[in-house]
Structure 1
């Protein structure tokens, strides 16, 4: 089945990435999980290997490769068992950098996108607010134009890379009276006066720096507006399809990792004179869960193919995130159970995997919100259209 989407070049890339992760990342994961801070050197190593430039134009140092290279990167990041590290990487590469590439002008791409590809600069995307959650249109952060600057006030929360990043891609209301139609997108340097961040203590994703960010009369040059003023809501909606599919791919990959680990354990663990992979109840549970993961992966690959061809797959990507994250949680719960008491021990991978997976149905739009979005599309026949306007 993989031959439908993955060429020999894809497979070689996967092998190279696996080797890189085992040598350069895995030895540091436990420390980063404990400290909640990823050492800066690894960002530069990712940049040197070209991993941040997979999807971006060659003129800014990228490689302009197809989306299945991104699929490989996402899958392999899940299989080193640190949801926090994986999130930090893809939030930089596919949340912050996506806006730079799509809405940034030539200067912004040169000053922010190019060094993001090399790993010299790290970015974060700031949309969610303390009182807003999934209600993007209801955000309260404002950016008031004063001469050649905008003055930014408000706060954001649950921001991956929110503490240690170098720049922030921020959504704010430039015309609050217009509601969601009065929103704009800016790039803001971390060291701009008035920007402050507080690190949040989380159940999982412990290696990543998730932060709450405050903006107190932050003066942003007009030149740091990305795209057109008051078009920000459309830009955000445009990229939601990619974000949701990414989270769906992450989910099927970590579920697959959990099953593979459980099977290896079951082949070695004995009870009542035989290995536990011989007990019918356990065999059938694994068979059922493996079927669900394969179905999820096959669906995700098909949607990735369509996304790569330029289709706006917001409905299917929303379905991917909704179903794949639910399946992953259930698979990992059952796989932890297969390990018995050892599944509950921190020295085994399942405890961390279970905690990290629980963010899937929450982040990037809760499952409850996604169900309503899907209902609007299939029952109310609501259409979400791609927005293509960008700043010259």
Structure 2
């Protein structure tokens, strides 16, 4: 039993003691195990490490040894591979019993410090760089790479974005042409804003193997760290500064043709599918960051006095908290609903039915985080504008807002994508219904 009440908006309803239809006893046990481990090994030091702009190497090893990076993979987990590698459970949850709610709890707990950088330095490569190999790689590709990646003996990253092609994935220019002997792809180009890249041994990389547009894109497993023709350097960014954002240059890099992920020309499909997990993970983390920001401000205005009374006694302060609180709890409920749907729908169905809505949820999460972080800074006043002291968490989270609104597909692109995808699904279902009824028209 908790020793004192939760600060309003600090926890999702199911953790604040309210009933929920989504969470089983397995989920609740996992949350307690996950919270204890992540707090002890990450959150106690998260602020200091973020200020230093790096997380010590031993932290990745600590998480890897405890199999605490496996939970960042999309559910269901690759059970057959994990058991082959001697991994039968994660935090007491059997790998075959793992569902997307377990994954979401992990993402939420990893963001509990309010900072995305320290946790992102550990998880992004595994979360988004390994799944394309699991989902689309053939048997020999998996045999060559998954044993080292799933046990974290080697690190991966996802490399899509380029200096002139971010959300516009179909126009990437990094090329991968066949060598004269036919044994290699020769990769040339640049990748930018690649999270975890500086530490990655390999990358699931988008390359152009064919002509212009989406049909010319493929995915390759490209060796990175210490590999001939590859040079990497860290990029200074405004938020998530400890996550290892990287600029990668590729000059005549020889990659074995066996490193192709799936089939040539199918890369765009693989990338779009992979984005669904990335965007939902971002939305979950952003929801927790918004909670940290808003609840910190709530706690502050209850004790900070101005004009002879606590700030919370002023109607304008309560009004700000109420507006942001409503947005936050609505987002939280929507994200929970998404996660539950992921446990009930086959993956291929979820990729289609929820793809556009996932993009919309990620975009909305960024907007809600912006409102909650801005509210926190305003209510902290001068303290919220200061990088140390009582309001430093609000100042730090506000700097991280754009790290949610831009990566994984920038906000404006995702808002448009969501509606286009919903329209596409509607038109396809309408057409199918017309055929079933023997008429091309409704």
Could you state the TM-score of these two structures normalised by the residue count of structure 1? 0.92
Contact conserved, 1:74 with 1:86, CA < 8 A, in 2? Answer: no
Cα distance change of structure 1 residues 249 and 260 upon mapping to structure 2, 3 Å threshold: same
Specify the alignment match of 2:245 in structure 1: 210
Structure 2 stretches of 5 or more lacking a match? 1-12, 15-19, 88-94, 430-442
1:348-381 Cα offsets, whole Å, 9 max, x none, are 2111111112221111111111122123234566
Q: Which has more radius of gyration?
A: 2
Contact conserved, 1:74 with 1:246, CA < 8 A, in 2? Answer: yes
Specify the alignment match of 2:62 in structure 1: 45
Does the residue aligned with 2:292 lie in a helix, a strand or coil? helix
Of 204-213 and 61-70, the range deviating more from structure 2: 61-70
Aligned residue runs from structure 1 range 205-354, under 5 A? 205-308=240-343, 309-310=345-346, 311-312=350-351, 313-347=354-388, 348-354=392-398
Contact conserved, 2:356 with 2:419, CA < 8 A, in 1? Answer: no
Instruction: Report the alpha carbon displacement of residue 285 of structure 1 after superposing the two structures with TM.
Output: 1.5
1:104 to 110, 113, 137: 137
Contact conserved, 2:171 with 2:212, CA < 8 A, in 1? Answer: no
Structure 1 moving runs of 4+ over 4 Å: 378-385
Cα distance in 2, alignment partners of residues 188 and 382 from structure 1: 38
1:195 and 2:230 matched? yes
1:126 and 2:147 matched? no
Specify the alignment match of 2:219 in structure 1: 185
Contact conserved, 2:114 with 2:288, CA < 8 A, in 1? Answer: no
Instruction: Report the alpha carbon displacement of residue 69 of structure 1 after superposing the two structures with TM.
Output: 1.3
Contact conserved, 1:125 with 1:170, CA < 8 A, in 2? Answer: yes
1:57 and 2:57 matched? no
Cα distance in 2, alignment partners of residues 27 and 106 from structure 1: 41
Cα distance in 2, alignment partners of residues 128 and 11 from structure 1: 37
Specify the alignment match of 1:361 in structure 2: 405
Structure 1 stretches of 5 or more lacking a match? 386-392
- After superposition, the CA RMSD in angstroms is 2.1
Does the residue aligned with 1:4 lie in a helix, a strand or coil? coil
Contact conserved, 1:183 with 1:233, CA < 8 A, in 2? Answer: yes
Instruction: Report the alpha carbon displacement of residue 198 of structure 1 after superposing the two structures with TM.
Output: 1.8
Specify the alignment match of 1:171 in structure 2: 206
Cα distance in 1, alignment partners of residues 418 and 78 from structure 2: 33
Aligned length: 384
Does the residue aligned with 1:51 lie in a helix, a strand or coil? coil
Instruction: Report the alpha carbon displacement of residue 282 of structure 1 after superposing the two structures with TM.
Output: 1.0
Does the residue aligned with 1:207 lie in a helix, a strand or coil? coil
Cα distance change of structure 1 residues 384 and 33 upon mapping to structure 2, 3 Å threshold: farther
Specify the alignment match of 2:6 in structure 1: none
Cα distance change of structure 1 residues 300 and 30 upon mapping to structure 2, 3 Å threshold: closer
Cα distance in 2, alignment partners of residues 382 and 127 from structure 1: 29
Specify the alignment match of 1:388 in structure 2: none
1:36 and 2:69 matched? no
Does the residue aligned with 1:129 lie in a helix, a strand or coil? coil
